[in-house]
Structures are given as C-alpha cells and as structure tokens.
Amino acid sequence: MTFFIAVFVLVMQFIWLYIDEMLGKGLEWYVLGELFFYATANVVPMAMPLAILLASIMTFGNLGEHFELVAFKSAGISLQQIMKPLILFVIIISIGAFYFANNVIPVANLKFYSLLYDIRSQKPAINIMPNVFYNEIDGYTIRVKSKKAMDDGREMLKDVMIYNHSDNNGNLQVTVADSGIMSLSKDKTYFSIKLFNGVDYQDKPNGKATKIYPLSRFYFEENEMQIDLSGFQFKRTDEDAFKHDYRLL
C-alpha cells in the first residue's frame, strides 16, 4: 500500500510538471493513459526505496508501541533474528528492482519520451475566439465577431472573415459573411463553415511581373467551405529516432 501511495505522489508531481503541454490539445484519454503508464514505470526506482523505508518504520514502530519487541526479546529472540524476514524480503526486492531498472525502464523511457515529444508537437485543439485572428489552421486565417453554441453541437458565428492563403501566394482570397454555422466532422478530419449573406473577394494573378491583378467579387446567400484538419491529427514518431539517447539504451 505504501508503494502505491509513493507512486501516486510521484506521478502527480510529473503531471504537475507537464500539465501545460497536455492541456488544450484534444488528446484522447488512452493517449494520456499510455503516457501516465510509462511515467509510472519511470518513478518505480524512486518509489520503491521510499516505500520500503516507510513500511519498515511503520511496522517496527507498531511492534514497539505494543511491546511486541519486548516480548520477542523476553523469549530469547535477538533483533537480528527479528529482522531476518525483512532483510530477506529486501534482498528479493533488490534483485527484482535491478532487473526492472536494467530491462524494463529503458524500454519505458523510450516509449515515454517519444510519446511526450509527439504530445509537445501536437497542435492545440481548434478554439476560435471572438475578435481574434485564428491562424492555427494551415492556409487559413479566421476572425469572427461573436460565436454561440447551438443545441445540436454546432456553433453560430457572426461577422465572419476568412483569409485563404492555402496556395502560398499571400492573401489573395478573402471571404466576408454576415453569419455562419461551424461544425466538425465525426472523425474530426475536417470542419465545415456554412456562410450566409457574404462576399468572396479574390485577386487573380496573371503571371506577369505586375502588382495589379484582376479582382473578382462573388456575392452569395449561402456558401459552404470545408477545411482540412489533417494537421491536427495526433501522429506518432518512429521510436528509432530516439534510441541514440543514453537513457533509452
């Protein structure tokens, strides 16, 4: 029991240390569970001696409190004989701890640090704030004046402005609309914005060395845009890229 309490305290310390890198990224529960599992294996060498020390103090303190040590000595049993089971137990635990540190911890460290690297590289979950230009989506910048959650899980947007620079040619296309409805697909691979009562402005480069381009305006009552979210998908890195670290041998 003492061992699990020590592990819990050390894992909580780990969570407090890395919580800023995990929040707001839309990670699945099993990804976090896997990270905590590998972190638990990493703190076992610290938790084991602490648990044995605390358990020994509590055990012999309890024996002394109830005068059981006095009874043992009165029966002719020396302190060394009383501690023999504890010494044997510690030797067995030491052998198991050596095997664990030599064979299990390097593998756990490899998986832990590779997973932590992927979590650090993960983009934050989509969170479009009112009156803030949101540019975390590759190729797009979105600004809305206000948004409101709807009963079906979608969001109602007001005064929408979308810059489309997905062709890497600058802000050549701007879409402005009075309102819109935003929704994510079930697999979260893309999200759609259905715009109402707006205008789509687009410059059309003609390939000539000039800064003057033809401009087109497209007025619409309803227009739907689908934006790819593949850049927000959680991707795993090959673990072989981390094997050069001395902690992961």
Q: Which of 13-22, 40-49, 124-133, 205-214 has the lowest mean pLDDT?
A: 205-214
d(C-alpha 49, C-alpha 6), whole Å: 10
Percent of the chain with pLDDT over 70: 87
What is the pLDDT averaged over residues 49-72? 77
Query: Which pLDDT band, with edges at 50, 70 and 90, does 96 fall under?
Result: confident
What is the pLDDT averaged over residues 70-83? 74
pLDDT at 246: 60
Could you report the per-residue pLDDT of 175-229, keeping only the tens digit for each? 899 998 888 777 777 778 889 998 988 877 665 656 666 778 888 888 888 877 7
Token duo for residue 102: 């030599």
Mean of the per-residue pLDDT values of the chain: 80
How do the domains of the chain map onto residue ranges? 2-123, 140-230
Query: Which pLDDT band, with edges at 50, 70 and 90, does 245 fall under?
Result: low
Mapping DSSP onto H, E and C, the string for the chain reads CHHHHHHHHHHHHHHHHHHHHHCCCCCCHHHHHHHHHHHHHHHHHHHHHHHHHHHHHHHHHHHHHCCHHHHHHHCCCCHHHHHHHHHHHHHHHHHHHHHHHHHHHHHHHHHHHHHHHHHHHCCCCCCCCECCCECCCCCEEEEEEEEEECCCCCEEEEEEEEEECCCCCCCCEEEEEEEEEEEECCCCCEEEEEEEEEEEEEECCCCCCCCCCCEEEEEEEEEEEEEECHHHCCCCCCHHHHCCCHHHC
pLDDT at 210: 60
Could you report the per-residue pLDDT of 113-137, keeping only the tens digit for each? 888 888 877 766 677 888 888 887 8
